[in-house]
Structure 1
Amino acid sequence: MSRSFPFLLFLALALAACDSGSLDPSTPGNPGVPGQALPGYPVVIDSLWGFIDQEGRIQVTPRFDFAGGFYDSLAAVQQGAQWGYAGPSGALAISAQFDGAGRFAEGLAPVKQGTAWGFVRADGSMAINATYEAARSFAEGRAAVRSSFQWGFIGPGGNAVIQPQYASVSDFSEGLAAVQTPEGWRYIDTEGTTAIAGPYVDAGAFSEGLAPVQIGDAWGYIDTTGNIVLNPTYDEAGPFRADAARVREGELYAYITRDGEYLVIPKVRQAGDFYEGLAAVSFNDHWTYIRRADGLVIRSPRFDTASPFRGGLAQVTIDGEVGYIDASGEFVWAPTY
């Protein structure tokens, strides 16, 4: 499926260690309450990772080899070659014992033991044994898992609700998941029943009642019944967030509403989705953010990478150093490494 949001270099390295794909920087997972402070925000000082609070004050002195964001009040952290989970105080809630770790969702997180993935509870006990080639975090009571190069879905008890049979899948969203079959992409419900037959050349997840699908050479949008709402006229299309979706026409991105109307926002070289009223956009290889409310850029483009806003802050990088800005574009934490 199409993705053009920037991937932070350091997080891409972590993804290499966590090849389940469960640490995905292109989306913030559970975004939480917009603007509400998270338990902490990972920062790096002298190559060690710790956490700051929303005001930019050191909350946990850097001591980890890597630290991810907080989900369900736990953050994946790396010590040496092993991964565990830290709480807001920085104390290890789950000792560093895994070869990979994904984010917590619905009380469980995918973890890697040797070459296989399973799921751990917040108390550190294994809920689902590590038997899968890859695994992603739970969404709507289902987790995507891969066996023998085929994807299916399990329930929180580890039962195979949908047997591995697909080349690729999206997570469940609004009761539906996109799955790739030999004939093309279609949508299934949480029991595995085909809900929208398609087939489509490509397909994205549902958001705000619509999903981007590729029909022939172009992308459009369908609703949850499979009806085409916006005709396929775009070269690329992303999910709707705050009644706005990024679409590409030629080499430039714009934003449209669910009625297909263009927002009064400048066309850009690269674009991300709106989170907490802001979206990352790139002008000439440098990134900044635009506001959904008025389309204004919050500061001149200067970032090498820009991640989605979450908990009132966005993580950005300049020359490989990691910092945070607030919704006004001001640094809460100046970039460090």
Structure 2
Amino acid sequence: MIQRLFTIGALILSSFLAQAQIGIVQVKPVGSRTWGYAGIDGKMIIPAEYDKTYPFSSNGLAITYNTKDRQHHFIDAKNKVLNTEEPKFKIKEVFGFGVKGFQDELIPVQVGSKWGYMNTFGKMAVPAVYDDANDFDGGFAAVKKGAQFLVIDTKGAETAIASPALDVRDFSEGLAPIRATDKKFGFINTKGEMVIPAQFESVGYFVNGIAWAKTFDKKVGYIDKTGKWIIEAQFDVGKEFDAKSGLALVRTGDQWFYVNAKGTPLKVTDTESWGNFSEGLAEGKKGVLKGFYDTKGVWVIQPQFEDVRDFHNGYAAAKLNGKWGLIDKTGKWKMEPQFEQIKDVVLIKK
């Protein structure tokens, strides 16, 4: 009886959480030069009036930019602009990674020539005193003050990183890549301690306790959080593991395939291109059309689209007849193709 009540309670909670969130996506209407936001059904939530838009954070705030005033703004899902303590600020957009938005309720902003962190109320929770600042993850971020790298928490408390460095990157699962003065990469923990010595040419981020690392003979393998090889360096290219599928895309010579955490290969031969797994599915291609296959290499969404993006929060952007819409994991249209461009679905609080 207790188990039954627990199960019913869990279902009710799950239903409540699902109802407490809505899906929202950046869209560019056909013939428009500007961006806005739409719901999963394709109906516009925020008019296409911004030169640049960025994904909403889970807390319900997004960054927008207009060239008219050359200023970034934060808006909510009703298009209301957040009043900020600092009226003039810039955000950091990392090439290839975009902007994460608010992480741990904070986002790095540049005020003048210095960086600090603004909270979701528009206040400077951490003063702009740094020469560089990374995104928060798990309550910690790496910053640079002068020539010194530091780790800070969400209250701005600083811990010096003892090892001299050229660069320190974002934290992931409590560890951050660090590039030493000899240009070798290792990892530090949130106390600023070097826990994996700098010995690699380059490294990735930890996912499920595993990160790729590249040796100086140009081979990629995978290490655990102690720096021990769990898959010996043997690949020419290696991507990060997908948290759900437990698979990573690798390449040896001209052959692409996947490996699990034990190094067991999965070779998908019925495709002409290989994408990273995202939410259990990977993008593939036959001829000029794209679709998705599962962790067994079986097509679950047959190649039928002109282009696709990875799955995010249960939906993937797909292009047909020159227009973009959204499909679910069965390949069914949830948003009919109607936009010139589209980004990924995020979930925000109602």
With the length of structure 2 as denominator, give the TM-score of the two structures: 0.74
Distance change in 2, residues 1:181/1:108 (3 Å): same
Q: Give, as a single letter, the amino acid of the residue that structure 2 aligns with 1:161.
A: T
Q: Give, as a single letter, the amino acid of the residue that structure 2 aligns with 1:100.
A: I
Question: Which residue is 1:137 aligned to?
Answer: 135
Question: Which residue is 1:7 aligned to?
Answer: none
1-structure distance, mates of 2:203, 2:288: 27
**Cα contact 1:56–1:333 (8 A) shared by 2:** yes
| Runs of 5+ unmatched residues, structure 1 | 1-32
Q: Which moved more, 1:310-319 or 1:85-94?
A: 310-319
Question: Which residue is 2:12 aligned to?
Answer: none
Question: Which residue is 1:57 aligned to?
Answer: 43
Q: Give, as a single letter, the amino acid of the residue that structure 1 aligns with 2:25.
A: Y
Cα displacement (A) at 1:320: 9.1
1-structure distance, mates of 2:142, 2:207: 18
Cα displacement (A) at 1:150: 6.8
Q: Secondary structure at the match of 1:273?
A: strand
RMSD: 3.2
- Residues 217-274 of structure 1 show CA distances to partners (whole Å, capped at 9, x for unaligned) of 2111111222211111101112211210111112342111111112252387765432
1-structure distance, mates of 2:210, 2:166: 23
Q: Which moved more, 1:48-57 or 1:160-169?
A: 160-169
The equivalences for 1:8-47 within 5 A come to 38-45=22-29, 46-47=32-33
The equivalences for 1:76-155 within 5 A come to 76-80=63-67, 81-94=70-83, 97-100=88-91, 102=99, 103-148=101-146, 152-155=150-153
Matched, 1:292 2:295: yes
2-structure distance, mates of 1:99, 1:198: 32
Distance change in 2, residues 1:94/1:292 (3 Å): farther
- From 326, 334, 340, the equivalent of 1:336 is 340
Cα displacement (A) at 1:122: 0.4
| Runs of 5+ unmatched residues, structure 2 | 1-16, 93-98, 342-350
**Cα contact 1:76–1:85 (8 A) shared by 2:** yes
With the length of structure 1 as denominator, give the TM-score of the two structures: 0.77
Distance change in 2, residues 1:317/1:217 (3 Å): same
- Residues 271-302 of structure 1 show CA distances to partners (whole Å, capped at 9, x for unaligned) of 54322222345678876443336542624275
Q: Secondary structure at the match of 1:41?
A: strand
For the pair shown, the structure with the greater C-alpha radius of gyration is: 2
Question: Which residue is 1:327 aligned to?
Answer: 329
Q: Give the aligned length.
A: 303
Identical-pair percentage: 26
Q: Give, as a single letter, the amino acid of the residue that structure 1 aligns with 2:26.
A: P
